[in-house]
Each structure stands twice: as C-alpha cells, then as structure tokens.
Amino acid sequence: MSKFDLPDYYKVLNLDFGATNHEIKSSFRILAKKYHPDKNNGNSESEAIFKMILVAYETLSDPKLRFQYDAHYMSQKRSQISNSKSDNTETKRDNKVFQLSDFISLIRITIFGVFVFSLLYTNMCESNTSTGNLKADKQLKEESGARPETGEIQFEK
C-alpha cells in the first residue's frame, strides 16, 4: 500500500462496495460492540480496530465523504487491476467486483438522469403556458379565437 492508498473501509466493516446506509450502520453497530475498548479491558489491538471501524463508519455514513472516498476507491481499484497482471485469478475476481459496482453506478446515474429530465420537461411544458395550467390555457386559447390578441376590435360589415 502506497502512502496515498486509503484503507478499504468496506472490508473494515465487512461490506461490499456500494452497500446501503442501513447495511453500513448495522455492520458498524455489530463490530463496535465486538471491539469496543470497554468490553475488551485495555486490549490495545481491539482499541486500534475499534478506531479504524469508527473512521470507516464516519467516512461511509457521510454522503460527501463517501462520494470522495468512493471516487478514490474506484481509481485505486482501476490501478490495482491494471498493475496486477501476474495473478489472473485475483484479477478476474477484482474485475467482477469492479464491473458490478460500475453497473450499480450506471443504474444510479440513469435514474438520476431520468429524474432530472422529467423535471426539466415538466418545467418546459409549464413555461410554454401562460398560466402554468394546461386546462386553463386550453380554455383561454379557445376564448382568444373570438377575440384578437392584437387588441384591435374588428367589426363585421
């Protein structure tokens, strides 16, 4: 591990990449009970593990920190995969994890894109109407046929 590599917080909490907030919290509680310093009477090893568990939980439970960590984690995984050609079985296993996490990320991005598109489309439809209400605009359009929009009154001869 180089000095820029972060520990694998998912492994620290016995989780897979992309775990839900509920899974993170649940795993943290189980491990915190097991390695808590009060329960292990001054065992320095369990105290160090507890501190690592706490840091992992704080990082993965905060959305901003988790986003930054996941970006760094993914770049680390990519470099590990490209650098470790010697052990094919390990590389294949890492590629499967990498591909699954990419698929999950792609699904999240797609759902977000559909949501944003629907908001923009709704906003666009409402901005094309004068009242923001399609039914009321239809009624105004029908009434405007009897009355010119220029403001001029036309008399029949």
Using CA atoms, how far apart are residues 133 and 54, in angstroms rounded to an integer? 52
**Please, which pLDDT band fits residue 54 given cuts at 50, 70 and 90?**
very high
CA distance 118 to 134: 17
Q: Which of the given ranges, 43-47, 123-127, 138-142, has the highest pLDDT on average?
A: 43-47
Average the pLDDT over 120-138 and give the result.
66
Task: Fill in the amino acid letter for 81.
Answer: I
Lowest mean pLDDT among 52-56, 58-62, 91-95, 100-104: 91-95
How far apart (Å, rounded) are the C-alpha atoms in residues 106 and 43? Answer: 44
Tokens matching residue 112: 């977000």
Mean pLDDT score across all residues of the chain: 75
**Average pLDDT for residues 2-27, to the nearest whole number?**
83
How big is the chain by its Cα radius of gyration, in Å?
29
Going along 31-102, which residue ranges are E strands?
A: none
Percent share of the chain, pLDDT over 70:
66
Q: Which residue has the higher pLDDT, 21 or 86?
A: 21
Domains of the chain: 1-83 (1.10.287.110), 86-144 (no CATH)
